[in-house]
Amino acid sequence: MRRLLRVVVLAVVVILLAAVLGWWWYLRADSMEPPALPGTSERGVMVHGDRQRSWLAYIPAAKAERPALLLVMHGSRGDGEGMRELTRFGFDVLAERHGFVVVYPDGYQRHWNDCRAGADYAANRENIDDVGFLRALVVHMEAEQGVDPARVFAVGLSNGGQMAYRLGLEAPDLVAGIAAMAASLPVPAGSDCRPSGKAVAALVMNGTDDPVNPYQGGTVEIFGNRSRGEVMSSLETAVYWAQLAGYEGAGEHRVWNDRVPGDGTRVESTEWLAPGRPPVSLVTIRGGGHTVPHPVFNLPRILGPTSHELDGAEVTWRFFSAAAAAAR
């Protein structure tokens, strides 16, 4: 009996140890202290569509006289503050350097009502007017912070990237450019958006080893939930925006230098550029997962590898800056 008890205790210890090690390996994200920046963080709320909506903003001490506005949208089950931490405060650092304002809005019940018609979260089921909310938020930031309505940009991760696509499709008058990480456009049969047919600068940044958003297209699946439906391939997504802007051909392909040979990822890009047209770019992270690339920090491994070859925030802002310059 005692021997059996010892075996049971040992088995329980082994299971618990395996669980702890599994958590550490698959679910743990690297921690960091927020950088000491001279700007201010401000929380805001408004009522839109009979619902209270909220956001977190970073106002740089070195704010430009007529600053650009960057909307940074979180993924499923996230919020604005979490997205700020997940991007390692990279957009705050860039805001201080370049003088723009950053806003991290909160989705409805931690989700955005993007274009995917079958998604089972409340924002989609209740058909929340997130385009209207973000439009009202831009008006608010113009009144409060003097942002330039001609230089409003939107970037998001996963569900937030899908929301950026919705803005590009339905509100190109609101945004001068969009960027989506770990997100591809839904196939037409699974989309309930109404595209305006107008072009907008667009950056697509996807990993080939993404376990959620398949790089080559297919069904989006999160822990067995397939309600988000099918998406186009990453290339098809970029080509959609390129054709909308009037580009023809395959774009200009480039292989980036391997900055961190040991991290298991490589970066390539395909760009469509021409005078008088909004730029379009596909950044492909070979071996990358459902993550925001960062030179140092890792996201949980359950989301796939985090590339250290590039800084996702920096590449995004560089794209937006180029888009603004091309529009002048």
Helix axes 159-170, 130-145, angle to 10 degrees: 80
What is the per-residue pLDDT across 47-59, written as a single tens digit (0 to 9) for each?
999 999 999 999 9
What is the per-residue pLDDT across 101-155, written as a single tens digit (0 to 9) for each?
999 999 999 999 999 999 999 999 999 999 999 999 999 999 999 999 999 999 9
Are 308 and 316 in contact by the 8 Å Cβ rule? The answer is: no
Entry pTM: 0.92
Can you give the pLDDT at residue 22? 44
What is the per-residue pLDDT across 153-190, written as a single tens digit (0 to 9) for each?
999 999 999 999 999 999 999 999 999 999 999 999 99
Q: Is 197 left (phi over 0), alpha (psi -120 to 50) or beta?
A: left
Closest to 171 in 3D by CA, of 188, 149, 196, 192: 196
Cα–Cα distance measured from residue 307 to residue 304, given in angstroms and rounded to the nearest whole number: 10
Average pLDDT of the chain is 92
Can you give the pLDDT at residue 299? 77
Can you give the pLDDT at residue 135? 98
Strand partners, 207: 285
Q: Say whether pLDDT at 324 is over 80.
A: yes
Lowest mean pLDDT among 3-7, 277-281, 314-318: 3-7
Q: Say whether pLDDT at 24 is over 60.
A: no
Sign of CA dihedral 199, 157, 112, 129: negative
Are 244 and 199 in contact by the 8 Å Cβ rule? The answer is: yes
Mean pLDDT score, 212-240: 97
**DSSP tag of 62:** T
Which residues are within 8 A (CB) of 231 and not within 5 positions of it... i.e. 6 or more apart?
183, 184, 185, 186, 187, 213, 214, 217, 218, 220, 237
Domain ranges of the chain: 40-327
Percent of the chain surpassing pLDDT 70: 91
Mean pLDDT score, 248-255: 96
Mean pLDDT score, 252-257: 98
DSSP per-residue string spanning 201-253: EEEEEEETT-SSS-TT-EE--BTTB-TT-EE--HHHHHHHHHHHTT--SS-EE
Place of tokens 């009522």: 47
Can you give the pLDDT at residue 29? 61
Q: What 3-state class would DSSP assign to 182?
A: coil
Are 176 and 221 in contact by the 8 Å Cβ rule? The answer is: no
Domain 40-327 homologous superfamily, CATH: Alpha/Beta hydrolase fold, catalytic domain (3.40.50.1820)
Cα–Cα distance measured from residue 204 to residue 316, given in angstroms and rounded to the nearest whole number: 10
Mean pLDDT score, 199-227: 97
Cα–Cα distance measured from residue 93 to residue 135, given in angstroms and rounded to the nearest whole number: 25
**DSSP tag of 25:** I
Can you give the pLDDT at residue 20? 41
Q: Say whether pLDDT at 31 is over 90.
A: no
